Structure 1
Amino acid sequence: MADIKKIATRVSYGNTLVELAQQGADNLVVFDADLAAATKTEIFRKEYPDRHFDCGIAEQNMVGVAAGMATMGYVPFVSSFAMFVAGRGFEQIRNSIGYPHLNVKIAATHAGLSVGEDGASHQCCEDIALMRSIPGMVVLSPADDVEARAAVIAAYNYQGPVYLRFSRLATPVFHDPETYEFQIGKGEKLTDGYDIAVISTGLMTNEALRAAVLAKRQGMNVRVINMPTIKPIDEEIILTAARECGRIITVEEHSIIGGLGEAVCSVVSEKLPVPVRRIGVMDQFGHSGPANEVLRDYGLTADNIVNVIRDIVRPDAKA
C-alpha cells in the first residue's frame, strides 16, 4: 500500500497564496511578523517580494497596517502564530478589522497543542473562542492540504474578515482534489452511521475517521462530520445528525470552552436537544513535548475517541 501523503496546512497556505497571485489576484498582499519561514509566507515572498511586508515582532501594528491597506482596495493576509496574531492582536482585530468589517484575512499557523515542544506559551487553544466572539468574523479550520487550499481561496473571494486556522503538524491528506468542493458555512459528512455522530474540525478530523474504523470493528457505526467552518456553523448538518443519530461527540484541538463543541451545543440546545460530549482541551494549559505525545496526553487521539464512543453507545460494556 502506498504511503499516505502528509502535509502541514501552513504549507498549504503558503502555496495557495502564490497560486492566487499567479491566477491574477493582483490586489493580494501578505504581511508577516518576523515568522515567514515558519508561517510559510516565505513561499510567497520568494515569488512576490514587493507584495510581502515583514512588520517585525509587532503583531498589533501589523493588523493596523493591514486594515489600512484594506481601505485602499487591497486584500491583505496577515500571518503569525495563532497565539500572537489572535491573542496579542485581539484588540486590534476587533476594533480595526471587525468593527469596520474590513476585507482582511487573518492566517494563524501553529494553532493548538500540536506546536509540541514550544510549550504552553505558544500552544494557542483559545483562538477559536476569541475569533468567534467578534461580530461578523468568519472562522475556518481546515482538516488537510486539499481543504486548506480551498479555504484560502474561499477566504480571498469572501468580502469581509476571515480567520483561518492552520497547524504546524503534517497531517494526512484524505480529500480528493478532483472532487472536493469547499463552501463557507458548510460541513461535510465523511462516513455514514446512526449509532452516534462525531463532529470534528482541523487535524482532529483524521483522528475521528480513524476512530470510526476502530468503532466499526467493534460493531458500532459512526457518522463522521468534518466541520471546516466554525462560524457560521452549519446548523442543518448538525440538526440532521442530532435527529438521525440522537447522540453527538465533538472533537477539537482547542479548549472545550468557546470552540466547536460549544458552537454545536448552542445549536442543539436551542433547536433539538440531544446529549453532546465534548472532546478537547479541558480548561487547562498545554505542556511541552513531541506533538503526537502531547495530543495523546490530552486525549486527542483516535483511541480515546473510540473509548468515548463506546462509553456512550455501550455504557454497560467493559473495555
Structure 2
Amino acid sequence: MKATREAYGEALLELGRINNQVVALDADLSKSTKTSLFAKEFPERFFNVGIAEQNLIGIAAGLSLAGFVPYASTFAIFATGRAWEQIRNTVAYPSLNVKICASHAGITVGEDGASHQSIEDIALMSVIPNMTVLVPADPIETKSMVNWAFKHKGPVYIRLGRMGVPDVLPKDYSFDTKPYVIKKGKKIVIFATGIMLWKCLEAIELLKGYNIEPTLVNVSCIKPFPEDLIVKIAKEHDIVFTAEEHNVINGLGSMVASTLSRNYPMKISFIGINDRFGTSGKPNDLLSYYGLDPNSIKERLLSWGV
C-alpha cells in the first residue's frame, strides 16, 4: 500500500536524476507532497515559495519560459482554488510547460475535514482551455504518468491522494490517454477514476454469486476526454456506471454523460459525492459515509436489477 503522492515523489526524484531541466516547487508542504525527496538530492533545483500558492504558479511559469520543466506541488484545494486565476492566465492561456501535481485530493484526506477535501478540482481544471487533466489509479500509473507529463509539451494537472492504495494495474503498464480495460465483463460497464478503480475491483469481488460481471475501465485521462473509446466501450453494454472521489457535478460522470448524450444515449448512473462538502473522519469511514466503499458500490449495482 502506497499513496499516489508517495509514488509521485519517487518518480520526480528519478526524473530529476536523468534530466537537469526538471525543477520542483512547493508551497511549504514538501514533506506532505513528497517533493522533499527531490529537495534533499537537488536543493539547487528546488524552490519552496512558502504559503503563497499564487506565487508558486507564477514562479513555475517563469521557470518554464527559462527552459526548465517545473513540477509545482501543494494540496489540491490550494492549487486549484487559491491559484486558479494564475493557472488560467499565466500558465494555460500561453500554454506554458508547467506540471501541477496536487496532492491530498478528495475526501480521503480524512480528518483535515471539508476545508481541505478538494472535491471540485477536476471540474476547476477541466474547464480551462489547453489544460490536460490526469488522475492516476495507483502507484504504478502515477510513476508512468509523471514521466509522460515530462514528455508532453504544455500544462498538465495531476491529481494525487493521501491514502495508501495497492497496485491494481499490471507492473508493465505504461500510461497513455486511452481508457484501460482492467476487467472484461458483460451488460454493465463501470468507468472509474483514481482510487475508485481499487474500490470498484473490491465491489466486483463482492458480486460473485449474484450473476453480475461488470466490465471495469480505468479512465485516468479526464481531459482531453477519450470520447470515441468511451462510446465504443459503452456500446458493448446495457448500463453505464461512473465512479469517482469527486463531486458528481462536472467530474468524470458529467464527462461520460455529456459524451454519451451526444453520441449514444443510454442508461447511466453516477457513483460519487452528490454535491456535498466533505467532513472530518477516517478515510475508509468517509468512503462508507459517502457511498464510495465496495459494499455501497455493490448495492448500487444490485439496485438496478441487473
TM interval, short-chain normalised: over 0.9
**Is 1:29 matched up with 2:23?**
yes
- For the Cα contact (< 8 Å) 1:112–1:123, is it kept in 2? yes
Give 3-state SS (helix, strand or coil) of 1:279's partner.
strand
Shift, 1:232, TM fit: 1.2
For 1:13 and 1:245, the matched residues in 2 are separated by 35
The corresponding residue for 1:213 is 205
Q: 1:295 aligns with which of 287, 291, 294?
A: 287
Shift, 1:240, TM fit: 2.1
For 1:56 and 1:70, the matched residues in 2 are separated by 20
- For the Cα contact (< 8 Å) 1:256–1:281, is it kept in 2? yes
- 2:178 maps to a residue whose letter is K
- 1:181 maps to a residue whose letter is S
**Is 1:237 matched up with 2:233?**
no
Give 3-state SS (helix, strand or coil) of 1:118's partner.
coil
List structure 1 segments (4+ residues) > 6 angstroms apart after TM superposition. Answer: none
- For the Cα contact (< 8 Å) 2:169–2:182, is it kept in 1? no
Q: CA offsets per residue over residues 133-180 of structure 1, 9 Å max, x none?
A: 000100000010000000111111100000000000000112232x21
Give 3-state SS (helix, strand or coil) of 2:16's partner.
helix
Shift, 1:212, TM fit: 1.6
The corresponding residue for 1:196 is 188
Shift, 1:312, TM fit: 1.6
Shift, 1:217, TM fit: 2.6
The corresponding residue for 1:70 is 64
- 2:173 maps to a residue whose letter is Y
For 1:242 and 1:173, the matched residues in 2 are separated by 26
Q: CA offsets per residue over residues 193-235 of structure 1, 9 Å max, x none?
A: 1120011000110011111222233110100001111111222
Shift, 1:246, TM fit: 2.0
**Is 1:137 matched up with 2:131?**
yes
The corresponding residue for 1:12 is 7
The corresponding residue for 1:312 is 304
- For the Cα contact (< 8 Å) 1:31–1:78, is it kept in 2? yes
- For the Cα contact (< 8 Å) 1:82–1:111, is it kept in 2? yes
The corresponding residue for 1:3 is none
Q: CA offsets per residue over residues 4-28 of structure 1, 9 Å max, x none?
A: xx110000010001111122x1111
For 1:266 and 1:144, the matched residues in 2 are separated by 27
For 1:300 and 1:131, the matched residues in 2 are separated by 23
For 2:168 and 2:275, the matched residues in 1 are separated by 30
**Is 1:181 matched up with 2:174?**
yes
Q: 1:46 aligns with which of 26, 40, 46?
A: 40
Q: 1:84 aligns with which of 78, 84, 108?
A: 78
Percent identical among aligned pairs is 44
For 1:210 and 1:9, the matched residues in 2 are separated by 19
For 1:237 and 1:251, the matched residues in 2 are separated by 17
For 1:120 and 1:105, the matched residues in 2 are separated by 26
Q: 1:253 aligns with which of 245, 254, 260?
A: 245
**Is 1:59 matched up with 2:53?**
yes
Shift, 1:82, TM fit: 0.2
- For the Cα contact (< 8 Å) 2:23–2:71, is it kept in 1? yes
**C-alpha RMSD of the superposition:** 0.9
For 1:256 and 1:265, the matched residues in 2 are separated by 11
Q: For structure 1, which segment, 102-111 or 212-221, has the greater mean C-alpha deviation from structure 2 after superposition? A: 212-221
**Is 1:283 matched up with 2:283?**
no
Shift, 1:31, TM fit: 0.4
Give 3-state SS (helix, strand or coil) of 1:61's partner.
helix
**Is 1:164 matched up with 2:158?**
yes
For 2:130 and 2:200, the matched residues in 1 are separated by 29
Give 3-state SS (helix, strand or coil) of 1:199's partner.
strand
Shift, 1:313, TM fit: 3.9
Give 3-state SS (helix, strand or coil) of 1:96's partner.
helix
**Is 1:226 matched up with 2:195?**
no
Give 3-state SS (helix, strand or coil) of 2:244's partner.
strand
- 1:14 maps to a residue whose letter is G
Q: For structure 1, which segment, 29-38 or 305-314, has the greater mean C-alpha deviation from structure 2 after superposition? A: 305-314
Shift, 1:91, TM fit: 0.5
For 2:117 and 2:110, the matched residues in 1 are separated by 8
Shift, 1:291, TM fit: 0.8
Give 3-state SS (helix, strand or coil) of 2:119's partner.
coil
- For the Cα contact (< 8 Å) 1:215–1:222, is it kept in 2? no
